[in-house]
Chains A and B, each alone.
Chain A
Amino acid sequence: MDGLGWLLDKTFRLMATYDLTEDYVLDELDGAKGWAMYNWSIANEANVWGTGLKIKGDGYIQQEKKRLAKLKN
């Protein structure tokens, strides 16, 4: 992932899924929160053919579970 192609994908997915304006996504929406919203939209886009993408590695909940386990030890 490089250049600004990813930015195009992220921006327009957020605009389409959440009915946001381009300026809001680019200028006002916290970029990290934008990733969380982007990932939620991918996780919830299942159709009759299943989901198109799956997370490589740990998702947020898995990351939290692992960090909780570390805290306990």
Chain B
Amino acid sequence: MPDAPIIIPKSVQDGVAATLAAQASDDKVGMKAATAALPGPMRDVFSPAPDIIVSDTPHQRISVRRFVDRDFVFLSALGHPLNRFSSFADRSYSFEPSGELAWQLCWLLTRPVADIKAAFKTIGAEGIKEAAADEFGELPIFGIGKIMEAIAKQMTIYASAHLEYEPNETGAEGEKSSPKP
């Protein structure tokens, strides 16, 4: 005896179709996300273009380079508030688009580290503060704002790669750690 045909109510057919369509849509979005560079801190850290070009005209080229750790030594020598890692990592340092502290940041982050080291040897911290004021003090506030925006982006990349740690109470296989001798 042949099996009786299975009759699926239209409401169920519609429901299945809607579910399949929703899953296909989710998969499409998921596949798109998975084929992009991983959206996490490492995408920025390993960016092939680490410098941010702020201005590129025949008369002026300003690019903001990545932070290197020596910058904290420079910032300390200048007595800049951003030399404190906590103000850097938790973004408690608030940016002003103008003023001496902004000019000093602009001066530091728009030139190679070797030039900064040489400047500390030749003109010292006070000389660098004056050089920063000469170079950036006259720029319109819009221009400084653009550079500071790029610096904030570089700060974010630097801070996003930092992880916090706490003591581990268990061993590699989950066992309770013995005190080290």
Q: What residues of chain A have their CB less than 8 Å away from a CB belonging to chain B? A: 1-4, 6-7, 10-11, 25-36, 39, 42, 46, 49-57, 59-61, 63-64, 67-68, 71-72
Contacts and interface: CB of A to CB of B under 8 A. Distances in A.
Interface of B: 26, 29-30, 32-34, 36, 38-42, 44-46, 50, 66-73, 76, 83-86, 89, 113-114, 117, 157-158, 160-168, 170-172, 175, 177-178, 180
Nearest to B65: A30
Contact of A32 (B26, B76, B157, B168): B157
B67 A27 contact: no
A67 B40 contact: yes
B42 A36 contact: yes
Given A46-B172, A72-B26, A63 B72 contact: no
Nearest to B38: A64
Contacts, number: 129
B29 A27 contact: no
A51 B168 contact: yes
Nearest to A26: B70
Interface majority SS (helix, strand, loop, mixed), chain A: helix
Contacts of A54: 165-168
B84 A2 contact: yes
Contact of A29 (B68, B89, B180): B68
A26 B73 CA distance: 9
A32 B33 contact: no
Contacts of B36: 71
Contact of B158 (A26, A35, A46, A68): A35
A60 B43 CA distance: 10
Contact of B165 (A7, A56, A72): A56
Contacts of A33: 45-46, 161
A50 B164 contact: no
Contacts of B83: 4
B86 A2 contact: yes
